[in-house]
Structure 1
Amino acid sequence: MARVDFYILPESGGQSRKQFACALTAKAWKAGHRVCLLAADRDRATEFDELLWTFRDISFVPHALVDSDAVGEVPVLIGWGDPAAIQNGITDVDVLVNLGDDMPPAVGKFDRIAEIVGGNADERQAARQRYRTYRDQGHELHNHSIDA
């Protein structure tokens, strides 16, 4: 079973889900993990592709979209849709950062899953449902309240 970490952002005045996802991805990469950011669709994946270049002035996170030729050469992948398709042939991805509001499929393929919960009511309700599903599946759950 995977370890699932829920990062609960403040209701207002704090980092956006996108900014926090970039910082968390950079931290996981620096710790030696291979990371997959899972966006809801290709447009959002492209947003994260751009954001990983600019979210901090002095940061660099080597990354590529999953349909890029560079997939095998970078430690951070940005995908959309089914993460099992992303992992097909890429067996060393161990951290999934779920950027969507839905339960990601094939969660058992990853050692760790990060769920970033934004401040609005709809995001929190969707996260509660994912939490219950992970719990019912027997995953190891951890909550982290992020201060503003």
Structure 2
Amino acid sequence: MTEVLFYHLQGRTIEQVLPPLLEKSLARGWRVVVQSTSEERADALDSHLWTYRDDSFLPHATWRVADAAHQPILLTTGEGNPNGAKVRFLVDNAALPEDSGSYERMVLLFNGDDDEAVAMARDAWKQCKAKAFEVTYWQADEAGRWQRRD
């Protein structure tokens, strides 16, 4: 069954939140697809993942590379799954893909200060519940630690 985690971002950006979550995914041996809504945004995330921390890097590429199928993390704007990922991150209001049920986990990061993003997340929550996916909602506490909310 597909597990879907909804991360409610407030006071934090995707650039701050995404890299540690990707690191955890790789540590578990998972291949990942990160879907954004524009080529410019995918390119910006591509640049950021090379430089977000001095002592680390995340092996990744965009869907444009010839060896996309071999990338542990693939940034894309489309619904495909060229690297056979088991985990899909949806950022910048990216819609649930048609093949949602083929993933072990999907992670939807949304900006809690953006009414459109909140509305899209609510709609995605309803879609996931209708598909009988296991859904959880996460929000950072005052110290910045992610807490599951019911």
Please indicate, yes or no, whether the TM-score normalized by the shorter chain is above 0.5.
Answer: yes
Report the counterpart of residue 133 of structure 1 in structure 2: 127
Which position in structure 2 is the counterpart of 1:6? 6
Code of the residue aligned with 1:32 in structure 2: it is G
Aligned-residue sequence identity (percent) comes to: 26
Equivalent in 100, 106, 111 of residue 92 of structure 2: 100
Moved over 2 A (4+): none
- What is residue 18 of structure 2 aligned with on the other side? 21
For 1:125 and 1:72, locate their aligned partners in 2 and report how far apart those are by CA, in whole Å. Answer: 33
Relative contact order, higher structure (CA 8 A, sep 6+): 1
How far does the alpha carbon of each residue in 1:95-131 deviate from its partner, in whole angstroms, 9 at most, with x for none? 0000131422221121100011212122212111111
Number of aligned residues: 140
SS, match of residue 130 in structure 2: helix
In structure 2, relative to structure 1, the CA distance for the partners of 1:143 and 1:47 (3 Å cut) is: same
SS in 2 for 1:86: coil
Q: Show structure 1 runs of 5+ residues with no match.
A: none
Deviation at 1:86, TM superposition (A): 2.8
Contact residue 102 and residue 130 of structure 1 kept, 8 A:
no
Q: 1:107, 1:119 → 2: CA distance? A: 23
TM-score (norm 2): 0.85
Q: Kindly provide the CA deviation profile for residues 11-53 of structure 1, in whole angstroms up to 9, marking residues without a partner as x.
A: x3xx202321222112211221101101112111111110101
- Report the alpha carbon displacement of residue 59 of structure 1 after superposing the two structures with TM: 1.6
Task: Give, in whole Å, the separation in 2 of the partners of 1:4 and 1:42.
Answer: 24
Ranges in structure 2 where 5+ consecutive residues have no aligned partner: 145-150
2:148 equivalent in structure 1:
none
Corresponding residue of 1:113? 106
Q: Which residue of 2 aligns with 1:48?
A: 45
Residue type at the aligned position of 1:127: A
Aligned position for 1:76: 73
Provide the rounded CA distance (Å) in 1 between the counterparts of 2:26 and 2:37.
22
User: Whose helix proportion is higher, 1 or 2?
Assistant: 1
Equivalent of 1:143 in 126, 137, 144: 137
Residue 145 of structure 1 deviates from its aligned partner by: 1.2
CA RMSD of aligned residues (A): 1.6
Normalising by the residue count of structure 1, what TM-score does the alignment of the two structures yield?
A: 0.86
Work out whether residues 8 and 117 of structure 1, in 8 Å CA contact, stay in contact via their aligned partners in 2: yes
